[in-house]
Chains A and B, each alone.
Chain A
Amino acid sequence: MEVQVLYNVFHHEAVSLLIAIYFHIVGLHAGCSIVSITATLLGKTEYKPVAKIGAIFVIILFSISPIFLLTDLFQPLRFWYLFLHFNPTSPLSWGTFFLCAYPTFTGIYIYFLFKNNVKWSKIFGVISLPFAISVHGYTGFVLGFAKARVLWNTAVMPSYFLCSAMISGMAFMLIVALIRYRFTYKDKTVEEREKDLHIIDLLAKWMAGFMILNVFYVFSDITVMYYHTEDAFETVELVRLGKFSFLYIWVDNVLGNIIPSLIIIFKKTRKSHLLLLIAAILASIGVFVMRYVMVFGGQYVPLS
């Protein structure tokens, strides 16, 4: 039997590209600050440069991220209503709280970091770490609580988003560290070079670890959806075979996760800085594509 829709109404997409970009930038700076704080907390002096590079990018990226959020509002001049009215059941309200608390504590942390005050930078590092995690973690809940869309409404969403935030943050810092090494290694002693290389190595290894975790999340998300409701089945078919399959499976997962992690896992390829740079760039592209597919793939399946 055939069914043909003769008349139906589809209202335009609720979540726009600006929000996908916002998710990406928030992920980037949350990832950077988590790496930076972890480096500070581990307390080895050779991690200092990583912590500082991370901190600088946190400031830059954080200052541009609210622009995307505000321009997406249909009534942007009313954004301050978010501070007046708190709704505990809405993750956007939590986000408002985190977006205020996070720069405060991280700002103090960055101040002490650049003052070389180890004790206080550690204390504020510990305080701002949960905020750095939640400032990106809430975006996962934002999508997760939209119960209309099966692609979003899954329990792995917050952790999946956090994991990809770590990948994008680390990839970004890896790119910066590689460029920094390329331009400064001539003036450095062999010992300093060793340290820099050690940091690059470490960042790459952690990034590969998170990539493998990410692939696991994708795998469990897609396979569980196959055993879910009709909507979920259609959505996963869309992601696997349909309009988004090229972007999601090939660009995000194969090019963005599997190939870079393979580059990092094999010692020979890991030693090549060009390949590492390519891996980091691929990973950043992969994470952005993942945000894009999540936002638009989730909204592609009709609701009416």
Chain B
Amino acid sequence: MEKEVRWGMVVDLRRCVGCHACQVACKAEHEVPLGVWRIWVKVIQKGYYPEMAAVSLPWDCPYCERPEEARYPRMQTLFLPWLCNHCERPICNTVCPVGAAYKRKDGIVLIDPHRCIGCNYCRAACPYNVRFANPITGMIQKCDFCVHRVDAGLPPACVEACPTNAMVFGNLRDPSSKVSQLISKEKVQVLKQIMATFPQVYYIGLDKDVADPLKGWEKHFYHKEYERL
């Protein structure tokens, strides 16, 4: 008898250095167009300093006035790779009117590109904002755990690209797999447990401020940088 498979992921945030390699690898693997992402690394800074500043920013931070004072240990930078959680009870599947969003037996949530009518309802219902409409083809897409690679026995592209092995992918039903061991030994957390979608992407060392979408959004939600995206 074939052993039951349930794919899942553990992201060890203690190891994540915020290099965005997963994000880039995913872009390359799936030819994701500009402005949309299947996985991204959310970065926040928190600390006790009124004018917090950028330590390792890819662009010049407009809020940065006294960068020399806003440094460790007064503050810290937190990273959070954010991707589709391949939920146990995916609301996106529940609400899809044509059954184009579906869940495979092994737990991977997919979209049937030949059936999806692009009604966007799944995008409105997913609590994690991970679905997007491909600006070129108009298809609804999201992270699919690199299903073509997984079926061929390879790990997803992001997992393979991660230089610190912070992302671990494996079979949650297999007690000897690394994900199961991490979940049973470490203190894990999922995103937005309150939504009752039962995510299958687990995080070790998740900080409440980086997991909270509302933190710091007053200033940033309509930040010019994001307006262009």
Kindly report which residue of chain B lies nearest to residue A95, judged by CB atoms.
Answer: B97
Q: How far is the CA of A304 from the CA of B80 in the complex (A)?
A: 10
List the interface of chain A (C-beta within 8 A of B). 1-12, 14-16, 72-76, 78-79, 81-82, 84-85, 87, 89-93, 95-96, 142, 145-149, 229-231, 234, 299-304
| Given A11-B36, A11-B123, A74-B120, A90-B97 contact (CB < 8 Å) | yes
Cβ contacts A to B, 28 pairs, < 8 Å: A2-B50, A4-B216, A5-B42, A5-B215, A5-B220, A6-B77, A8-B43, A9-B36, A9-B40, A9-B129, A10-B129, A10-B221, A11-B130, A15-B124, A73-B119, A81-B115, A82-B117, A85-B115, A87-B98, A92-B95, A92-B97, A96-B97, A142-B121, A145-B125, A147-B125, A147-B127, A230-B214, A304-B42
| Given A90-B94, A146-B95, A146-B125, A6-B117 contact (CB < 8 Å) | no
Say whether B97 contacts A82, CB under 8 Å: yes
Q: How far is the CA of A4 from the CA of B53 in the complex (A)?
A: 9
Residues of B within 8 A of A301 (CB): 213-214, 217
Kindly report which residue of chain A lies nearest to residue B95, judged by CB atoms.
Answer: A90
Q: How far is the CA of A299 from the CA of B120 in the complex (A)?
A: 13
| Given A74-B138, A75-B117, A85-B99, A148-B126 contact (CB < 8 Å) | yes
B154, CB-defined interface residue at 8 Å: no
Say whether A303 contacts B128, CB under 8 Å: yes
Residues of A within 8 A of B219 (CB): 4-5
Say whether A90 contacts B96, CB under 8 Å: yes
Out of A9, A76, A149, A304, name the residue touching B124 (CB < 8 Å): A149
Q: How far is the CA of A204 from the CA of B134 in the complex (A)?
A: 48
Q: How far is the CA of A15 from the CA of B124 in the complex (A)?
A: 7
B152, CB-defined interface residue at 8 Å: no
Least CB distance from A262 to B in Å reads: 36
Residues of A within 8 A of B7 (CB): none
